[in-house]
A = this chain, B = another copy of it.
Amino acid sequence: MCGQPAGAAADGLKAMFKESEIIVSSRLRLARNVKDFPFPGWASEKERVDMCGMLRAALDKTNALKGSLFVDMAQLQDTERDLLKERHLISNELSERGQGSGLVVSVDEQMAIMINEEDHLRMQMISVGQKLPEAWERLNALDSELENQVEYAFSPRLGYITACPSNVGTGLRASVMLHLPGLKLQEEVEPAINGLEKLGLAVRGLWGEGSEAWGNMFQVSNLSSLGESEEAIIAGMLRTIEEIVGHEGNARARLLESKKTFLLDQVGRALGVLRNARILSSREAIELLSLLRLGAEMDVVKHVDTGDVSQLMLLTQPGHLQKIVETTLEAQERDEMRAAMIRRRLGGAVVEE
């Protein structure tokens, strides 16, 4: 799909790289609608408010969401919307909704149910690393509990009915967020993405549909949810992901093997700027943190924790920064606060000599 394997040595090295470092997170979502009610885009505000109240009550009664938190979209500040988006708990689309739309978040923040986004229900399971089979079990349990209370729009021929035809059938979308800095440094990202797209998968950027791949983060998801069982969709996805993880591992092994100086240069420059800049945009920060994360995972950067680096990728986003100081900041203020936070947190990191 991309590049050539570099022989037995590279195959040996490949085992060094943990799948869990390349698959940053995984997400499953089920789209469901209530029978005989208009989709949110066609409903009146009153209908949406009623639907939201009804679904909130139904979700509240499930064991899966015991003790969950309800967020009314109409009550949110811009900063709070940004924060939820940065955590990937809500979509761009829900973040623009107000009255009659809401979010239910489980205690562990792994389940996030969007009410009246494009469909009445968008039930999501979000996990760190690749945990699609476990996530499916939990999501399926919630779906079954809910089906006892709510009659879904369902066609025996097509499956679950959704606002957009692309979700009809299982209503399932499985996605994983992949961190592919090795392929990027080897200039092999394009062929890898083309390969995934030929296999019927969608590749998007860090912030979903239409966004760019900031920080070498690529969201890969299935396009079709019709004609296959949920288990088959997930299994197909996992096979493809395993392959791309192998390519990324291989790209990293070849960097160590034959482009070590280039690797140290790229990682060193990133660390040098992160430790010394006073003004950093969120885009630049995430690009540089991506390279630093690669360096930490490949053990060429010392005295830095990969967990710290991935936390910084999230904490330095606009919504999170503003949440920390509990006030609205201008872009320039955010850029300075971001740089100061990163400088402080990466104080001891050095690249190997």
Q: Which residues of A does B touch, CB under 8 Å?
A: 261-262, 264-265, 268-269, 271-279, 336, 339, 351
Contacts and interface: CB of A to CB of B under 8 A. Distances in A.
Contacts of A339: 265
Nearest to A336: B261
Contacts of A279: 261-262, 265
23 contacts: A261-B278, A261-B279, A262-B278, A262-B279, A265-B277, A265-B279, A265-B339, A268-B276, A268-B277, A268-B278, A269-B272, A269-B273, A269-B276, A269-B277, A271-B272, A271-B276, A272-B272, A272-B273, A272-B274, A272-B275, A272-B276, A272-B277, A273-B273
A339 B264 CA distance: 12
A152 to B, nearest CB: 55
Nearest to A353: B343
A265 to B, nearest CB: 4
Nearest to A265: B278
B336 A276 contact: no
Nearest to A268: B276
Contacts of A269: 272-273, 276-277
Contacts of A271: 272, 276
Interface centre among A271, A273, A276 (most CB of B within 10 A): A276
A255 to B, nearest CB: 13
A271 to B, nearest CB: 6
A344 to B, nearest CB: 10
Nearest to A267: B276
Nearest to A270: B276
A327 to B, nearest CB: 19
A99 B333 CA distance: 64
A214 B230 CA distance: 61
Contact of A278 (B264, B275, B336): B264
A345 to B, nearest CB: 15
